[in-house]
Structure 1
């Protein structure tokens, strides 16, 4: 018998094995695995009854909630393709993605209904359904009266369409199959020293579930073992600590900004005492934050690296079981990584030992290319060019240097913004820094540093320039330094450098 590769089978299996155990805690709403599975069945049936057919797309413009969990797994169980969108998007942004994906339905919260309606005014083929509205309840009620005739889902069936920022600025839809999503979860589950996840865990789900990190490496991973998920829609440093204590959270998947914020909260050590595992991704974890968190809480953070296109995890320090500041560890079992010195050929040549190179990734968790025709995916040998520059240290652990497209070319020399950011970030008065390249008539590009000071601390441009000159080669030192109030961020905490270039790129 052909096994069912549908990602929603994670929930089905947990419902069979642990029917009465709590699956989801969303404020006062609590669902057991059996209750969650039944609601997912009903939602899947209701979608099919609305005339949706296998492979059609359903978009979600929802924050983190139990309803998101039901809708996401219901879409997959119905054989449809989920298209999660950021609720912060504007109407024009939503309209572009709905048109590109060809979504038949757009599921929205009441707070984003007006934006969704404005976005779909000229898209007659897409119906907007508001959470809790009559059409939403009809989906559930209709489905409750039916028995789902499940089909076996093959591994290569499309499950998820996630839009990422392209180099041209236009979002591209990464196509992730059920097989790719399951493969990444199973790879992570294979890590046992310490266990990446276990049935007895209570998992904090505060990462946005419209992002692959929260969706697969947190929600999917927890569902695969029947762990309890505590859902928060937004991160609040104090409120999240209260929730962690109240529900006995044991594992946290986070981003650097979360850990930095907790360092400033009195009582964080006591509140986090019961957490056995902290992991971090989404953006590089500054060495300073790693050290401050360890000092403030007594816990170390396991850092990882991934991409939307790899479902998402490629490497993590959990592979060795030893947190290593500045490193993202080693590739997951089943993932292969090459570091390639690109000389313009299709095959490339491997970088010399210890030298940086572009990371190429191969494995069953790699995506199927970009929507709709699969362009930009793996080559004929299965290698996907990540666009990230990395090197292996003497221990065989990976260190991310920078994005290939963000490397700054100064008089023909490669300058890696991350190296400069690490140097400036080590200043006591610096809260955050971003380095970008801007056009320069003399050198080709000039290094520009945008620096945010710690509140209440004095920080001058001269101080930063002097500090850099003592630690960096002259051609790497910023020729332009600006002290700014704040930097723009993506949903996972990564600095949005595209927006910085729009503002400062021509100055």
Structure 2
């Protein structure tokens, strides 16, 4: 393992010092050694300085996976700037909100727009031949502002320090076997704008001096070919990837291509959403690999638990906390720790029912932008809002997500954000959004709406309306129309009551129209 610095850019520099000629990045036809990547990062850092950006300024990066994404983000970190990763699927309103809320000084993106929401846009990272700016080491400083749905209806910027990102790298690499080793070739098809792809993906590659095999966008057939050609040995993945790869084999009528792609794979992991048991089993039987499942959240940079930490690969199981992370299962009603104040012992809640996952560790975020609100409590504990129980081995199993958040392919969809858009449609009197199980994405977005008197509304019309303001994964895939929505005593729409009415089941396929499933 190379020396660990205070940011990803320092890790790149350390890898360049120790392994200058070793492969760092493979991206299509582009192949860079660590020395080459480090030199390019220097030029981009100088480019930011030449544009007058100052220490702590925010730079938003909205690029697909590739060398340019790495250069733009790593160069910003080396210049002492804060990286704001932006989902490439964001619509203009979503992008404008993130730029405005973060106070971004610059957006690096594709396209030829001169500015967005008053923020200058660069089509690719800036470069300059001058020496990069001298930036003091500051591990506790803000490095990445990662927008994720928190406890309000708008995305919130989770403040991730260089030290917290580094801590999670070290925690992951203390597992045995480690998810990444120096001789690994790591498939990075997870988006780098997501902290999973950024830190549990490229962060571990940089910390070990391994090689990242970057895929710009996921195509199951092409990615299997890349894996076989590049002899990929490690895969940080998510359920939709494994499902798609199995589907390719099904369509081909043979597992030969699947097994060829996974022939060199030493370790495969899955996170961001629960992995269905049939997929876990099929990967073991058909691809010849055990998928190690884990659990995390943006606010934890992101890895919290993994079956790698326990050494027991089980279906529907997230194992135990990674080394250096403390985890408690607390009573969901009282939010109190165990009576003795200690971490829950194995099996404590196996018979009594699930508890809320609370975590503590050096990998936790510094609260939400800009003032650190809703961060860890005075004793360093963070409530995740997720429910889990421990089995007889002490291994953890998730049983539910946050009460209202919908997790689509590992991305949070907050109902209030979608509801604001739906309520703006002239035919909609009121709306509520809930999640329904989905075999491909883990969950899907369902809208329940009450229409204005005499109004009619088709599913595709409502979807088109939503798609104008929301990323595709946030757009409802089904709509249920009621004469009126249930409300709580305080007058708020009761999503819990909608679930009690059975509207969160996946055994119907509603479309839009009149009262009932349309």
> TM-score normalized by structure 2?
0.76
Q: What does residue range 113-192 of structure 1 map to in structure 2 within 5 Å?
A: 113-114=112-113, 117=115, 119-120=116-117, 123=118, 126-131=119-124, 136=125, 139-140=126-127, 142=128, 144=129, 146-192=130-176
Q: How many Å apart are 1:505 and its aligned residue?
A: 11
- How many Å separate the matches in 2 of 1:180 and 1:504? 50
- How many Å separate the matches in 2 of 1:431 and 1:52? 40
SS in 1 for 2:20: coil
Q: How many Å apart are 1:404 and its aligned residue?
A: 3.3
Residue 93 (structure 2) pairs with residue 92 (structure 1) = yes
Residue 365 (structure 2) pairs with residue 367 (structure 1) = yes
2:214 to 224, 228, 231: 231
The answer to whether the 8 A contact 1:269-1:297 is kept is: yes
Match for residue 318 of structure 2? Answer: 328
The answer to whether the 8 A contact 2:486-2:498 is kept is: no
The answer to whether the 8 A contact 1:446-1:478 is kept is: no
Q: What is the total number of aligned residue pairs between the two structures? A: 431
Give the 3 Å change call, closer, same or farther, for CA 270–407 of structure 1 in structure 2: closer
2:233 to 241, 250, 258: 250
- Of 72-81 and 291-300, more deviation after overlay is shown by 291-300
The answer to whether the 8 A contact 1:262-1:268 is kept is: yes
Q: How many Å apart are 1:7 and its aligned residue?
A: 2.6
- How many Å separate the matches in 1 of 2:336 and 2:178? 39
Match for residue 44 of structure 2? Answer: 43
Q: What does residue range 62-461 of structure 1 map to in structure 2 within 5 Å?
A: 62-110=63-111, 113-114=112-113, 117=115, 119-120=116-117, 123=118, 126-131=119-124, 136=125, 139-140=126-127, 142=128, 144=129, 146-192=130-176, 194-264=177-247, 265=249, 266=254, 267-344=257-334, 353-354=349-350, 355-406=353-404, 440=486, 445-446=496-497
Give the 3 Å change call, closer, same or farther, for CA 58–44 of structure 1 in structure 2: same
Q: How many Å apart are 1:109 and its aligned residue?
A: 1.5
The answer to whether the 8 A contact 1:4-1:152 is kept is: no
Q: How many Å apart are 1:224 and its aligned residue?
A: 0.8
> TM-score normalized by structure 1?
0.78
- How many Å separate the matches in 1 of 2:199 and 2:371? 24
SS in 1 for 2:226: helix
- How many Å separate the matches in 2 of 1:370 and 1:130? 29
- Of 339-348 and 202-211, more deviation after overlay is shown by 339-348
The answer to whether the 8 A contact 1:79-1:153 is kept is: no
Q: List runs of 5+ in structure 1 lacking aligned partners.
A: 409-416, 449-474, 487-499
Give the 3 Å change call, closer, same or farther, for CA 44–294 of structure 1 in structure 2: same
Give the 3 Å change call, closer, same or farther, for CA 485–291 of structure 1 in structure 2: farther
SS in 1 for 2:394: coil
Give the 3 Å change call, closer, same or farther, for CA 360–432 of structure 1 in structure 2: closer
Q: How many Å apart are 1:166 and its aligned residue?
A: 3.1
Give the 3 Å change call, closer, same or farther, for CA 477–309 of structure 1 in structure 2: same
SS in 2 for 1:8: helix
Q: How many Å apart are 1:481 and its aligned residue?
A: 5.5
Q: How many Å apart are 1:248 and its aligned residue?
A: 1.0
Q: How many Å apart are 1:4 and its aligned residue?
A: 5.0
- How many Å separate the matches in 1 of 2:110 and 2:405? 40
- How many Å separate the matches in 1 of 2:209 and 2:289? 25
